[in-house]
Each structure stands twice: as C-alpha cells, then as structure tokens.
Amino acid sequence: GEDVEQSLFLSVREGDSSVINCTYTDSSSTYLYWYKQEPGAGLQLLTYIFSNMDMKQDQRLTVLLNKKDKHLSLRIADTQTGDSAIYFCANTNAGKSTFGDGTTLTVKP
Amino acid sequence: DTGVSQNPRHKITKRGQNVTFRCDPISEHNRLYWYRQTLGQGPEFLTYFQNEAQLEKSRLLSDRFSAERPKGSFSTLEIQRTEQGDSAMYLCASSPPRGQGGYGYTFGSGTRLTVV
C-alpha cells in the first residue's frame, strides 16, 4: 500500500529556520501537500507542489521535492511561536490523499 | 460560505448503539471525503464521493460503516453496532474540481466519537 513517513518531533528557536521532512512510496503521486493542525483545530491546507516541480516558494514556506528519492520537505523561514503545531504531509493519487502521522513542531522563544 | 461543517462536534455512545454523523461541504466542491484520526496518528482514509457517486471505500473499513451523499451535497456517515475501537475523531473534507491546486482539501472541525 501507500506509505507516508515523517519524523515525529522537531524543536527550534524562534527566528531560526525549520525543516520538516517526509518520504513516500507511491510513485504515481500527482500532488503533494502540507497541512497544519493547531491544538483543538482541524487540518488547514498550507501549500502544495505538483509532481513535475522540484521547488515551490510561498512567502516564508519553501517546499522541495526530490521525486527520484520520493522525498518532500517543508522549510519555514524565520519560525515564530505561532508556527507551533503538527504538520502533516500528504500525497495524492487520483484525488485521494494519504497522510503521514505528522511532525510536532515546537518553537521556543 | 462558512467552510466545511460537521455535526455533532462530540458524540458519546454506548457500545452496540448506532451513530450517524453529518457533513456539509463547501457548496462549489464536488468531492467529499471521510477520514478517521486517532491520537498521534494522521488522518486515515475511509471513503470519498464525487458528486453523489461513492468512488472508493477503504478495504480496512468494516461493513458496519456506511456513507451516503444522496444529492451530491451533504453526506452522512453511519456506524452500526459501535465498538470501543471506533472511538476517534471523524473528519470530513471537501475539494473542488481539479484546478491549479489539484485536490487540496478543506477540512471540517471533526466529530469526536467516544464509545463507552
């Protein structure tokens, strides 16, 4: 089946960059997504990348895709305390998404 | 449009009872998805609809689970003869016809089910 793997925890200092990594097995993925989940809230779509791209930048967010290694990363520049949350990557094939188990990002002041 | 709406927010039921959840998607979205999430895990796919057609149902899903989207708008998820292992957050999401962002989901806030 399709698997999406993420490291469970990441801790950074406010103002530093955060890099959250994800690997996946489904080579047929068309789109890959990053979602953010704050405590007690639903998942919020952050950004996405199409499978024929290798980089996408959206303000403080940079998504890198290595399709050969099936590796996706999310870089958050100038990380703020408000970025503390769980981040999920998801790959999509024919409209259905498979999610990783999330990376809990803790930002220390 | 106020986004994806799920009701109820919380449901506590006794083991063996049936429960039904409702999801109202964003009106322009033709795809609707049901996922289940337990603590420390990512959302697990249950089923999805394109308009009123149910396109896929997880092989892991028991026959006790059924979902409908009769008019291609709201959807219901029913769990019959609930078990303690059904306790989870049930998430609904919708997505627009394929566009620039592919099938990016808008999630509802979920229905938390506790089976006692």
Given this model, what pLDDT does residue A1 score? 47
Q: List the single residue in B44, B95, B102 with the smallest CB-CB distance to A30.
A: B102
The three-point CA angle A31-A36-A42 to 5° equals 105
Query: How does DSSP assign B58-102, residue by residue?
Result: -TT--TTEEEE-TTSS-EEEEE-S--GGG-EEEEEEEEPSSBTTB
**Closest by CA position to A74, among listed A17, A16, A13:** A17
pLDDT digits (tens, 9 = 90+) for B24-61: 999 989 999 999 999 989 999 999 999 999 999 998 78
DSSP state of B27: T
Contact between chains at A44 and B107 (C-beta distance less than 8 A): yes
pLDDT digits (tens, 9 = 90+) for A36-91: 999 888 899 999 999 889 999 999 999 999 999 999 999 999 999 999 999 999 99
Residue B80 in contact with partner chain A when CB distance is under 8 A: no
CB A90 within 8 A of CB A26: no
